[in-house]
Amino acid sequence: MKDIEALSAHGGEITLGALHPIECAATAADASNTLAMLVRRDGETLTALLKRLDKAIALAYEDGQFIDEVHGGAD
């Protein structure tokens, strides 16, 4: 999960947990932006969720695509 590692190494953060009313969400942010907000899918493992988050971080930096499943959609 190289993109999560790179984000963390440059002062960014990820969070994993409940985000009312969502039972489990994973988010990633750097000093300036929220890069991704993902909702854990039915039957999805935490490992799979983190891998999706890693890909979403790459999309944000490479293509400027910010995924927000919490509020419905992507920018």
In angstroms, the CA 67 to CA 57 distance is 9
Strand 67-68 relative to strand 22-29, pairing: unpaired
State how far Cα 10 lies from the chain centre.
16
Q: What confidence tens digit (pLDDT) does each residue in 19-43 have?
A: 999 999 999 999 999 999 999 999 9
pTM, whole model, 2 decimals? 0.92
State yes or no: pLDDT of 74 exceeds 90.
no
In angstroms, the CA 71 to CA 74 distance is 9
Question: Could you write out the DSSP letters of every residue in 52-69?
Answer: HHHHHHHHHHHH---EES
In angstroms, the CA 1 to CA 21 distance is 28
